[in-house]
Amino acid sequence: MLNIDKVQKELKNEIEIFLNSISDELQRNQMCFVFYSGDRKNPNWGSLARGSLFLLLAGLGSGQVLLARTIELIHHASLILDDQIDRAHTRRGKPAFWVKYGPEESILFSHLMLVMAIKNLVIFDSTYDGVGHAQSYTLEAMCHMADAELEARQILFNDLETYLSRAHRKTGTLYGLVGQLAGLIPSTIISDKNSCISALRMVGVAHQILDDFLDAELPKQQSNIFISHDAEKENRNRSIYRLLEYGFTLNQLKELHEQHSYKAIQSLNQCLCNGPEKEVIISLCEKICLG
């Protein structure tokens, strides 16, 4: 029976094996910094939520942990570039990659991570009869994510519909990919694959709304993620806070987040088979959505 502790331990072991396989010392240290935020002894499992969720849905096995690692590589590669483009100097209170290693190294290393991810997909498809599906699903997802990012850089949103559309194509797509890849492996947990993918996309949207608030770099004494309008934020114009300039209140944005979180969890509940694994998956998604 799967549980979150077992899954996290398996993923931690996989990441450790992966880190130790990197012969170049600088690249190994950089990858360690990406996954562990500079603290290898006390990893932040919140940053490995997507890989853990995938393993809960797909089960444990060599092919599964390979794909879990791939999902994390793609996710972290996007974060490296996001922080550099937004000129965000910290990520969750610690120096951003581009601050620690420099802008040029940031671009090169994010590309290296994507190359590693694609290599994993090729291995999976050739070894586990994926007939190219893992590669096609992932490349399509990466295109959607890149499209949403490019649009966000070109046109600042001023309405909820545009904001939610981009959140769906960006983070929603990444969580949907978790469901697509899990669907390649026979599962006793997923009762309706398409509904599961749709529900996970909603989980991603709820997580994006939450993440935009967290990116406001809260003061240490502030425990409420929905901080005041006066909070200082370097990339404020490209965050959900821009909606405040168009008449929305913090309470309305908080309600928006809660509504999407509730809908995501409710939808996921309906497309998973009953059992202990379901309880663990729902619990993890509640944490992803609500923090």
Domains annotated on the chain, with CATH:
4-290 (1.10.600.10)
Per the model's pLDDT, the better-predicted residue between 79 and 38 turns out to be 79
For residue 131, is pLDDT > 70?
no
Burial zone of 94 (CB within 10 Å; 0-12 exposed, 13-18 middle, 19+ buried): middle
Q: What are the two backbone dihedrals, phi and then psi, of residue 150, each rounded to the nearest 5 degrees?
A: -60, -40
The amino acid at 89: H
Collapsing DSSP states into helix, strand and coil, what is residue 291?
A: coil
Each residue's pLDDT tens digit, 138-178: 999 999 998 888 887 776 667 788 888 888 999 999 999 99
Each residue's pLDDT tens digit, 170-215: 999 999 999 999 998 887 899 999 999 999 999 999 998 887 765 5
For residue 270, is pLDDT > 80?
yes
Max distance between CA atoms of the chain, in angstroms, equals: 54
64: left (phi over 0), alpha (psi -120 to 50) or beta: alpha
Instruction: Compute the distance between CA of residue 76 and CA of residue 271 in angstroms, rounded to an integer.
Output: 28
Per the model's pLDDT, the better-predicted residue between 112 and 227 turns out to be 112
For residue 269, is pLDDT > 70?
yes
Predicted local distance difference test score (pLDDT) of residue 13:
87
Instruction: Compute the distance between CA of residue 196 and CA of residue 211 in angstroms, rounded to an integer.
Output: 22
Segment among 42-56, 66-80, 168-182, 249-263 with least mean pLDDT: 42-56
Each residue's pLDDT tens digit, 212-242: 765 544 444 444 434 333 433 444 445 666 6
Predicted local distance difference test score (pLDDT) of residue 245:
67
Predicted local distance difference test score (pLDDT) of residue 227:
39
Average pLDDT over residues 11-40: 87
E strand or H helix at 91: strand 90-91
Task: Please give the model's pTM, rounded to 2 decimal places.
Answer: 0.86
Per the model's pLDDT, the better-predicted residue between 66 and 212 turns out to be 66
**For the chain, what is the mean pLDDT?**
83
Predicted local distance difference test score (pLDDT) of residue 4:
83
